[in-house]
């Protein structure tokens, strides 16, 4: 009986010190007796010798492939490039830094064989994780789930398995602002989660800064929902009603206090508050209009500079 092909896609940005190690870890635990393996590295415009090491690895090992992007497009776009190019009956995505333990791969495959189309992972909090990192991470998932139509569970990562059918559907997505965790959740199918404890990073440093986490959160919210627009409308309506509570004070000041001119401070404060609110609402509307502006240009989401994958040529 012909073995099924499993594709593992690995986005890499300045991960020179992890390339050989991640390949060895995967080979040491992958069930080669049951499946064939296709290992695809996506170099996302690295400035070190990451792509050179990947090329050497691919030349000396069958089943190792690479996609070199023309510049740094970002993790989500590099990941999509790998998912679009993979040929496997199922595709597993994971990071190169070894924080996604390859030993979980067998569990993902077992759930896939049970009939699940998407097997995603939830990261358990590490004791070594800083208080700030833990809080910002939890806040990220709560914020996205509250303001979007898709509920993203805490600790959900881009370490997942998707069936070929899901990959074919996802390949048709051409959204300019990608939030793959939410989009995979949105497509539906039969999904299940597996919890895992992250390993320590083998080499290098994390590429997800606080600023990038905030940007990813806004991309996720505005890509998956129009709820922020409704929040802006409700907020404006409520504040407009509350502003009428100020009317009795204005009348009393004008007719009875004799010091009506002395209220300029409260007036300035009110004007400043509502001006700020208007700017916030206009900003939310502007984000959606900006997304439409970028989308209608129909630019490619990523550009492949070189690859040894025949399916991508």
Tell me: pLDDT of 226 over 80.
Answer: no
Mean pLDDT of 179-205: 80
- Six-digit token string for 173: 């997505």
Angle at 59 between CA 58 and CA 65, to 5 degrees: 25
pLDDT tens for 2-32 read 899 999 999 999 988 899 999 999 999 999 9
Tell me: pLDDT of 268 over 70.
Answer: no
User: What span, in angstroms and rounded, lies between the C-alpha atoms of 31 and 37?
Assistant: 9
The whole model's pTM is what?
0.69
- Six-digit token string for 110: 């077992």
pLDDT of residue 66: 94
pLDDT of residue 313: 40
pLDDT of residue 128: 59
* Lowest-pLDDT range of 45-59, 151-165, 211-225, 252-266: 252-266
pLDDT tens for 68-82 read 999 998 888 999 999
For 50-68, b/e burial (b = at least 16 CB within 10 A) is bbebbbebbeeeeebbbbb
Percentage of the chain lying above the pLDDT 90 cut:
36
Higher pLDDT, 95 or 246: 95
Band of the pLDDT at 202, cuts 50, 70, 90?
low
User: What span, in angstroms and rounded, lies between the C-alpha atoms of 78 and 12?
Assistant: 8
Of these ranges, 156-160, 206-210, 273-277, the one predicted with the greatest mean pLDDT is 156-160
Average pLDDT of the residues of the chain: 79
User: What span, in angstroms and rounded, lies between the C-alpha atoms of 99 and 52?
Assistant: 23
Mean pLDDT of 124-130: 64
pLDDT of residue 183: 85
- Six-digit token string for 94: 């994971």
Tell me: pLDDT of 306 over 70.
Answer: yes
Cα torsion through 160, 163, 164, 170, rounded to 10? -60
pLDDT of residue 312: 42
Mean pLDDT of 90-117: 92
* Lowest-pLDDT range of 126-140, 159-173, 218-232: 126-140
User: What span, in angstroms and rounded, lies between the C-alpha atoms of 11 and 132?
Assistant: 26
pLDDT of residue 108: 94
pLDDT of residue 96: 87
Sheet holding 191-196, edge to edge: 191-196, 118-123, 156-163, 90-93, 4-12, 35-43, 64-69, 304-307
Tell me: pLDDT of 138 over 70.
Answer: no
């Amino acid at each position: 009986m012909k073995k099924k092909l499993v594709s593992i896609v690995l986005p890499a940005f300045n991960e020179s010190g992890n390339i050989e190690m991640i390949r060895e870890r995967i080979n040491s635990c992958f069930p080669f007796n049951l499946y064939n393996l296709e290992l695809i590295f996506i170099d996302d415009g690295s400035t070190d010798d990451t792509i050179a090491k990947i090329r050497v690895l691919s030349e000396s090992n069958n089943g190792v492939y690479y996609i070199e992007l023309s510049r740094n497009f970002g993790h989500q776009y590099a990941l999509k490039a790998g998912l679009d190019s993979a040929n496997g009956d199922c595709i597993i995505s994971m990071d190169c830094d070894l924080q996604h333990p390859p030993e979980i791969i067998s569990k993902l495959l077992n759930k896939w064989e049970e009939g699940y189309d998407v097997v995603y992972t939830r990261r358990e909090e590490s004791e070594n994780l800083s208080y700030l990192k833990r809080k910002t991470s939890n806040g990220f998932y709560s914020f996205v789930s509250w303001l979007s139509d898709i509920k993203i569970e805490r600790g959900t990562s881009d370490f997942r398995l998707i069936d070929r059918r899901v990959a074919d559907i996802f390949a048709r997505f051409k959204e300019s602002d990608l939030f793959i965790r939410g989009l995979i959740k949105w497509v539906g199918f039969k999904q299940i989660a597996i919890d895992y404890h992250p390993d320590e990073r083998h080499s290098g440093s994390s590429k997800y800064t606080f600023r990038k986490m905030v940007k990813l959160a806004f991309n996720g919210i505005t890509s998956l929902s129009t709820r922020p627009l409704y929040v802006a409308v409700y907020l404006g309506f409520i504040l407009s009603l509350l502003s009428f509570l100020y009317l009795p004070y204005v009348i009393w000041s004008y007719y009875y206090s004799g010091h009506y001119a002395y209220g300029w401070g409260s007036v300035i404060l009110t004007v400043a508050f509502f001006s700020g609110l208007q700017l916030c609402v206009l900003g939310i509307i502007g984000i959606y209009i900006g997304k439409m502006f970028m989308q209608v240009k129909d630019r490619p989401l990523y550009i492949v500079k070189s690859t040894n994958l025949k399916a991508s040529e």
